[in-house]
Amino acid sequence: MKLPRSILTAALCAAATAFPGAASATNRIELVFSGVPEANTAAWPNTPAFTSWCAGTCHPTTQIPLYDAATGQKKGSAYVWGSPFAFGANGSLCFSEFIVFALDEGDIYVHSPNNGTCGAPMDPSLKQPGPGASVVLAGGGDGAVYGGTRKYRNWTGSYTDRVFVGFGNGGVGGIIYYDQLWFSISATDAAGGGN
């Protein structure tokens, strides 16, 4: 007996839902934050990915709460470390960063390549600096996922972040506020389970 294509498709979708480990799926997490960051006071990450990235030249920068981009519910916090900064043409600022996403189900470790996170000043007619900031930097970065803890311990993949930063004298290393900071983490579980 030959099943109609629509019934066969529905059966396959139901099987994939009932047995999620049967197929390797990409996990995507999207997180947002707007507001004033605090200084990063977290313990330095105890992972080889951090040790090799930092190599004694990094420093803690900010920590922020994170919210699910779709629901607005709090999902955890991010703790950020930065490497030496490099200034480019027209006031652009580039550096590398290591981020620990401390989420409800575990930590995710990511870092950008050397000078892989950058920002450049915006024309004030496009985006006015908010209170306390002298300029708005528009920028972001991309990088790799290096596992984590608990649910995320075997994750590999990539991440992207985009943001407007109110920058000036004061704040945390000149960061007065983040405006529309968005993270997208796209990863697979290398072990196929990870819980």
Q: Between residues 85 and 14, which one has the greater pLDDT?
A: 85
pLDDT surpassing 90 at residue 26: no
The backbone torsions φ and ψ at residue 138, rounded to the nearest 5 degrees and listed phi first, read -105, 130
pLDDT attached to residue 86? 81
pLDDT attached to residue 90? 73
Q: Between residues 9 and 24, which one has the greater pLDDT?
A: 24
Per-residue CA distances from 188 to 27, 101, 156, 191, 194 (Å): 6, 16, 6, 9, 10
Q: Give the Cα-Cα-Cα angle 149, 151, 154 (nearest 5 degrees).
A: 70
**pLDDT tier for residue 193 given thresholds of 50, 70 and 90:** low
Q: What is the pLDDT of residues 119-167, one digit of tens each?
A: 999 999 999 999 999 999 999 999 999 999 999 999 999 999 999 999 9
Cα–Cα distance, 94 to 125 (Å, whole number): 24
Tokens of 175: 């960061």
Tokens of 40: 């990063």
Cα–Cα distance, 79 to 58 (Å, whole number): 13
Cα–Cα distance, 87 to 16 (Å, whole number): 49
What is the H or E stretch that residue 170 is in? strand 155-172
Share of the chain above pLDDT 90, in %: 75
Amino acid (one-letter) located at 127: K
Please, which contacts does 122-125 make with residues 24 or more away whose CB atoms are closer than 8 Å? 122/164
pLDDT attached to residue 47? 95
Question: For all residues of the chain together, what is the average pLDDT?
Answer: 86
Q: Where are the domains of the chain?
A: 37-189
The mean per-residue pLDDT over the stretch 49-66 comes to 95
Whole-prediction pTM: 0.83
Least confident among 5-9, 160-164, 179-183: 5-9
Cα–Cα distance, 157 to 145 (Å, whole number): 5
Q: Which of 84, 80, 119 is nearest to 98 (CA)?
A: 80
pLDDT attached to residue 191? 77
Q: What is the pLDDT of residues 91-124, one digit of tens each?
A: 788 999 999 999 999 999 999 998 889 999 999 9
Q: Would you say 50 and 109 are in contact if contact means Cβ atoms under 8 Å apart? A: yes
Tokens of 150: 């608990």
pLDDT attached to residue 115? 87
Cα–Cα distance, 101 to 85 (Å, whole number): 22
